[in-house]
Amino acid sequence: MSPFNPKIHHRRSIRLPGYDYSQAGAYFVTIVAQNRETLFGEVVNGEMKLSPFGQIADECWCAIPQHFPNVELGAQIVMPNHVHGIILINEDDSRNNVGATQCVAPTTPGIRSKGPKQRSLGSIIGSFKSAVSHKINKQLNATGIWQRNYYEHIIRNDREMGNIWRYIESNPAMWAEDDENPDNARTPKEIAQH
């Protein structure tokens, strides 16, 4: 294996450059299990049957608003090897306080930070993934739960929201055609555009 060379081995962000992912908005998120392993359960007769890993993932997802009071959850589903969900970030009243520092978008070129900005989509997903990994490790003695990163789509209008919501709700019934099913290749972004 060759040594790390930052000129060759650089990570390219999949985030929208310059976009502040802590601002109010709706986001469609897909988080995939390491190597697309079916850790979280199985689809039986068009319904998702959660494994103990899947139960932990579902509990942690539902607990997100307890840790991020400015967040509401939309439709969500834990599938055999991934989680789909809609995260709604509301205005954060603490930003409107006099003397609050101005926020810089975490994807602004040339600005390096140590991890995602507080209350941003990245910090929400990082917290969720960490909580699931920690609980699974503690309760079920397993590691290596998640792939690096996650997929997100900024939901820009009601049509997209409706399409994504229906997609999430129908995901178990459509498992044979699901984009995260290892036998298929369509991306969640393509779904949002239909």
First-to-last alpha carbon distance for the chain, in angstroms, is: 42
- Do the beta carbons of residue 185 and residue 50 sit within 8 Å? no
Task: Please report whether residue 118 resides in a domain.
Answer: yes
Give pLDDT, residue 3. 60
Give pLDDT, residue 93. 59
State which amino acid sits at residue 93.
D
Specify the number of domains making up the chain. 1
Give pLDDT, residue 117. 63
Give pLDDT, residue 163. 96
CATH number at residue 146: 3.30.70.1290
**Alpha carbon distances (Å) from 193 to 129, 170, 189:** 27, 17, 7
> For residue 23, how many C-alpha atoms fall within 13 Å in the half-sphere facing its CB?
10
Give pLDDT, residue 79. 96
Give pLDDT, residue 114. 53
- Do the beta carbons of residue 70 and residue 96 sit within 8 Å? no
Task: Please report whether residue 4 resides in a domain.
Answer: no
Task: Please report whether residue 187 resides in a domain.
Answer: no
Domain containing 157: what range?
25-173
Task: Please report whether residue 126 resides in a domain.
Answer: yes
Task: Please report whether residue 115 resides in a domain.
Answer: yes
Give pLDDT, residue 49. 97
**Chunked in runs of 10, what are the mean pLDDT values of the chain (194 residues)?**
51 59 92 94 94 98 96 97 96 50 40 60 95 97 93 94 96 86 63 56
**Alpha carbon distances (Å) from 192 to 25, 87, 97, 134, 160:** 16, 15, 36, 32, 6
Whole-model pTM over 0.85: no
Alpha-carbon distance 186 to 193, whole Å?
Answer: 12
